[in-house]
Structure 1
């Protein structure tokens, strides 16, 4: 599984959190992901592939998003209220 250095932040802020994660594949720009089942969602803003690193496939920069707003937009529903268990 590709090891990715993930940089996340909240919208409009420079409160970066940086950590390594393994993904089934490298996320792409515009895609959404979560790092925990009940954690926040992030949207990928930038991907930097790092073929020069032996143990790292890419760096991903992402912004935190409101998952309920995203689901409402994408699923075309009037109310998106989902609980993850």
Structure 2
């Protein structure tokens, strides 16, 4: 398990939610993540690896996205 320092925000805003979460692996740019069972969907914008830190292995910046819109884009649905 890898401790990740997440920086989450809404598109166009600097309303950062900063929290540490544990992942099986470090997320990569372009992937999606959630922070709870019924949480919003976030798209990873940037990853900074921090091998010098004993508290975390990376910082991940992600923006909140619309789940349905992203599904439609990825699955080529027009609905």
Decide which structure has the larger Cα Rg and report it.
Answer: 1
The bucket for the TM-score relative to the shorter chain is: over 0.9
1:1-85 to 2 correspondence within 5 Å? 1-79=1-79
**Where do 5+ consecutive residues of structure 2 fail to align?**
none
SS at 1:69 equivalent: helix
Unpaired segments ≥5 residues, structure 1: 80-85
* TM-score where L is the length of structure 1: 0.88
| Count of residues paired in the alignment | 79
TM-score, normalised via structure 2 length? 0.94
Which deviations, in whole Å up to 9, do the C-alpha atoms of 1:14-53 show, x marking residues without a partner? 0000000001100001111111121100011110000001
More strand by share: 2
